[in-house]
């Protein structure tokens, strides 16, 4: 409860914080046993909350009691090892603790001058990632490019679209610009193109393994040129949402360069796997692209939000985004000695997100993170082998990473029955998907604590539904 003048004393904070940390440690221990899908009807949680905010202060014990009474029953099991839905949204103890310290510091890292450590730590950690993931050296802050932590992959792709539009618009009418991506790319690319003001958007045909066909891209560009339109942006995906298909970056980059287009790469989920050199064959050609995004908040044990965005050349980004009113001027910025991250994003204010990534990279070490990724990929390969050995089931795409996509050979209804069996088991949770009217099941392996026993449980549900 707050004291005189609305202040909370440090000793009271210490007592409350200890109670909360104990509660969190207990929660982490029991979270694998909590329901993956919360057993609540729409509106049920709202009904447990008062209609208005309290007039009188409440005690911390009352706040804590409501964690169990109201919050936990409404949580979805993203941190449950039986979570195989969407892509993972990981957390880990060092990341969680860093979030707590970050909140204590309350930094507003819009410029170097408003938080030197938020700025410089971010620069260093993103340079580390260039080496750890085998990314082009020119993306380091010492080169022409550089990286910034954004809220989400959607945000990062939107930024790339905005910069490409700004650049192309200097010499072309905006309503003639075209953005291209594959028919299997994430919806954030189409949404970003719309928000960035592109009037023309093309979803390019894919091959049998759901990767963009460069010849289809060339044909679409030729048709657009014929009608007087201007190709301005193309996005390749490394690890599509549906099946983790990887677009061929090199031929797409050759087309992009020839046509003068901005080439962005979306590696939202799969980018984390590049910490293991054996997967880098899927990112060949990155030195030819203009921008890149991947999400440590998916598969690199770092709490949402943490999306890493790199550009090969930071000049066009700043030309698009830098506006410096008098109240945001600083001696450091004027001397050009510092990076002001407000020029790397649409909003002005920004969180100090580098601390959690720094702690994750240090606490696990590169070898610890590699072993987590390799464990998940091995679990995926094990599941894929079981599916291939089962005559009623078929894989719908190669399981190159840890996502396994399969269906019942008898068709959509039989596939739906398997989904129902898995999701009603209470032990595992998957999201079904659809390509060309054929339903399939995505088993997305990547939750921090998923191990062989959780795949065994999932397999029991699948086998029981055949």
Residues within the interface to ligand PLP (CB under 6 A): 87, 152-154, 186, 188, 237, 240-241, 266, 268-269, 295, 307
Instruction: Rank residues 153 and 333 by Cβ distance to ligand PLP and give the closer one.
Output: 153
**In the complex, what is the shortest distance from the CB of residue 171 to ligand PLP, in angstroms, rounded to a whole number?**
30
Instruction: Rank residues 240 and 425 by Cβ distance to ligand PLP and give the closer one.
Output: 240
Instruction: Rank residues 188 and 415 by Cβ distance to ligand PLP and give the closer one.
Output: 188
Residue with tokens 């022409």: 144
Instruction: Rank residues 119 and 240 by Cβ distance to ligand PLP and give the closer one.
Output: 240
**In the complex, what is the shortest distance from the CB of residue 334 to ligand PLP, in angstroms, rounded to a whole number?**
34
**In the complex, what is the shortest distance from the CB of residue 298 to ligand PLP, in angstroms, rounded to a whole number?**
7
Burial of 113 (0-12, 13-18, 19+ CB in 10 A): middle
Instruction: Rank residues 87 and 210 by Cβ distance to ligand PLP and give the closer one.
Output: 87
**In the complex, what is the shortest distance from the CB of residue 186 to ligand PLP, in angstroms, rounded to a whole number?**
3
CB environment 357-377: b (16+ within 10 A), e (fewer): bbbbbebbeeeebbebbbbbb
What are the CA-CA distances from residue 433 to residues 212, 412, 436, 442, 449 (Å)?
Answer: 19, 11, 10, 7, 24
Give me 69's structure tokens: 């009474």
CA–CA separation, 287 vs 291, rounded Å?
Answer: 10
In what side-by-side order are the strands of the sheet with 146-150? 146-150, 307-311, 291-294, 262-266, 230-237, 177-182, 200-204
Work out the angle at residue 394's Cα, subtended by the Cα atoms of residues 393 and 398, and round it to the nearest 5 degrees.
145
Work out the angle at residue 93's Cα, subtended by the Cα atoms of residues 90 and 94, and round it to the nearest 5 degrees.
100
Instruction: Rank residues 164 and 188 by Cβ distance to ligand PLP and give the closer one.
Output: 188
**In the complex, what is the shortest distance from the CB of residue 335 to ligand PLP, in angstroms, rounded to a whole number?**
35
Instruction: Rank residues 241 and 461 by Cβ distance to ligand PLP and give the closer one.
Output: 241
**In the complex, what is the shortest distance from the CB of residue 177 to ligand PLP, in angstroms, rounded to a whole number?**
22
**In the complex, what is the shortest distance from the CB of residue 444 to ligand PLP, in angstroms, rounded to a whole number?**
9
**In the complex, what is the shortest distance from the CB of residue 305 to ligand PLP, in angstroms, rounded to a whole number?**
8
Strand partners, 266: 237, 293
Instruction: Rank residues 246 and 423 by Cβ distance to ligand PLP and give the closer one.
Output: 246
Instruction: Rank residues 291 and 461 by Cβ distance to ligand PLP and give the closer one.
Output: 291
Instruction: Output the DSSP codes for 293-350.
Output: EE-HHHHSS--SS-EEEEES-HHHHHHHH----GGG--HHHHTT-S--GGGGSSSS--
Give the pairing type, strands 83-84 and 429-435.
Answer: parallel
Instruction: Rank residues 87 and 310 by Cβ distance to ligand PLP and give the closer one.
Output: 87
- 309: closest CA among 365, 353, 349, 279? 353
What are the CA-CA distances from residue 222 to residues 153, 173, 219, 382 (Å)?
Answer: 29, 18, 5, 44
CA–CA separation, 229 vs 231, rounded Å?
Answer: 7
**In the complex, what is the shortest distance from the CB of residue 311 to ligand PLP, in angstroms, rounded to a whole number?**
17
Work out the angle at residue 70's Cα, subtended by the Cα atoms of residues 43 and 3, and round it to the nearest 5 degrees.
125
Strand partners, 435: 438
**In the complex, what is the shortest distance from the CB of residue 266 to ligand PLP, in angstroms, rounded to a whole number?**
5
3-state helix, strand, coil in the chain (%, to 5): 50, 15, 35
């Amino acid at each position: 409860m707050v004291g005189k003048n609305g202040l909370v004393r440090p000793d009271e904070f210490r007592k409350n914080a200890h109670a909360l940390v104990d509660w969190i440690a207990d929660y982490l221990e029991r979270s694998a046993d909590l329901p993956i899908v919360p057993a609540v009807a729409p509106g049920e949680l709202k009904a447990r909350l008062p209609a208005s905010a309290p007039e009188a202060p409440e005690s911390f014990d009352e706040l804590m009691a409501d964690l169990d009474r109201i919050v936990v029953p409404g949580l979805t099991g993203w941190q449950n090892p039986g979570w195989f839905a969407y892509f993972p949204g990981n957390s880990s103890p060092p990341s969680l603790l860093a979030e707590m310290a970050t909140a204590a510091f309350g930094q507003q890292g819009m410029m170097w001058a408003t938080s030197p450590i938020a700025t410089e730590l971010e620069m260093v950690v993103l340079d580390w990632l260039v080496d750890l993931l085998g990314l082009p050296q020119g993306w380091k802050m010492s080169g022409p490019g550089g990286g910034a932590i954004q809220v989400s992959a959607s945000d990062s792709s939107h930024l790339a679209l905005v910069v490409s539009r700004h650049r192309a618009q200097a010499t072309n009418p905006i309503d003639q610009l075209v953005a291209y991506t594959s028919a299997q790319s994430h919806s954030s690319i189409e949404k970003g193109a719309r928000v960035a003001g592109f009037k023309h958007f093309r979803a390019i045909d894919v091959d049998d393994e759901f990767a963009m066909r460069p010849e289809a891209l060339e044909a679409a560009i030729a048709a657009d040129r014929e009608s007087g339109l201007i190709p301005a942006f193309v996005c390749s995906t490394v690890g599509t949402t549906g099946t983790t298909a990887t677009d061929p970056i090199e031929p797409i980059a050759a087309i992009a360069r020839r046509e003068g287009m901005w080439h962005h790469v979306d590696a939202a989920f799969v980018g984390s796997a590049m910490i293991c050199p054996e997967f880098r064959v899927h990112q060949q050609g990155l030195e030819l692209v203009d921008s890149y995004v991947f999400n440590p908040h998916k598969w690199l044990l770092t709490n949402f939000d943490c999306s890493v965005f790199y550009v090969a050349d930071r000049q066009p980004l700043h030309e698009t985004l830098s506006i410096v009113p008098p109240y945001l001027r600083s001696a450091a910025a004027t001397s050009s000695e510092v990076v002001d991250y407000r020029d790397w994003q649409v909003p002005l204010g920004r969180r100090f997100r580098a601390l959690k990534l720094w702690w994750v990279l240090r606490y696990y070490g590169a070898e610890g993170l590699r072993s987590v990724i390799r464990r998940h990929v091995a679990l995926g390969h094990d599941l894929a082998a079981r599916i291939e050995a089962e005559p009623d089931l078929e894989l719908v795409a190669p399981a190159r990473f840890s996502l396994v996509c399969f269906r019942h050979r008898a068709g959509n209804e039989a596939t739906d029955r398997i989904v129902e069996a898995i999701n009603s088991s209470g032990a595992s949770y998957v999201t079904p998907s659809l390509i060309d009217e054929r339903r399939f099941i995505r088993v997305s392996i990547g939750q921090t604590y998923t191990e062989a026993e959780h795949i065994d449980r999932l397999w029991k549900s699948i086998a029981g539904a055949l």
